[in-house]
Amino acid sequence: MRPERRAWSRGLPQAWRGGALMMALLAAPAAAQTVDGALDGIERPAAPGDPVRTAEIDQRTAEIGATLRCPICRQQSVAESSARIAREMQDVIRTMLMEGRTAEEIEAWFVEAYGPWILLKPRAEGMNLIVYAGPGLAFLLGGFLVARRIRRGRSRDDEERVGPAVPDHLRKADRRWIEAALKES
């Protein structure tokens, strides 16, 4: 163990230490909370507001959270996950919605903070187009190969019905001899 390791990482397995550092950095907004529960620099209403507005914000929070990947679970959205960081991300989404930000602005903020992997559904741009176009291209290629195979099988059946062709450059006697031998076999 290197001496520059912090005390909080000593009890963690080696494979988890990098992840623990990443989680500590990701959870920085939670560490910035004051005693009353508000994030520094971001105001939250002290008392519950309009119940209709609160329900609308909760619904939009869930919708936006369903498009973002939980950094811990990786296979669940922020809305589905019960991890602490997912709940904190939902709080950040709710706060941003209360500030009047749009869903696109919130997603852009999370993409800037975490990178494009945070989106559960990749954007259709650049190399991500393979994800969207790949299945269709594979289906078309498979259909082409099946059609080609069927056509090839039909042409072989036609050749077998007619019989093998005797080359034209042979003499008539040789051609008759080959045809007679083919009929006997």
Q: Which residues of 7-45 are buried (b: 16+ CB within 10 A; e: fewer)?
A: eeeeeeeeeebeeeeeeeebeebeeeeeeeeebeeeeee
pLDDT score for 67: 92
Is a pLDDT exceeding 60 seen at residue 31? no
Residue 41's nearest CA partner among 87, 96, 79 is 96
Residue 62's nearest CA partner among 49, 78, 86, 39 is 78
Q: Which residues pair with 33 in a beta bridge?
A: 39
Is a pLDDT exceeding 50 seen at residue 6? no
Tally the C-alpha atoms within 13 A of residue 158's C-alpha that lie toward its C-beta: 6
List pLDDT tens digits, range 45-98: 434 567 778 889 999 999 999 999 999 987 899 999 999 999 999 999 999 999
Domain extents in the chain: 7-121, 128-184
pTM above 0.85, yes or no: no
List pLDDT tens digits, range 51-66: 778 889 999 999 999 9
Is a pLDDT exceeding 50 seen at residue 132? yes
pLDDT score for 157: 62
**Fold of the 7-121 domain:** Helicase, Ruva Protein; domain 3 (1.10.8)
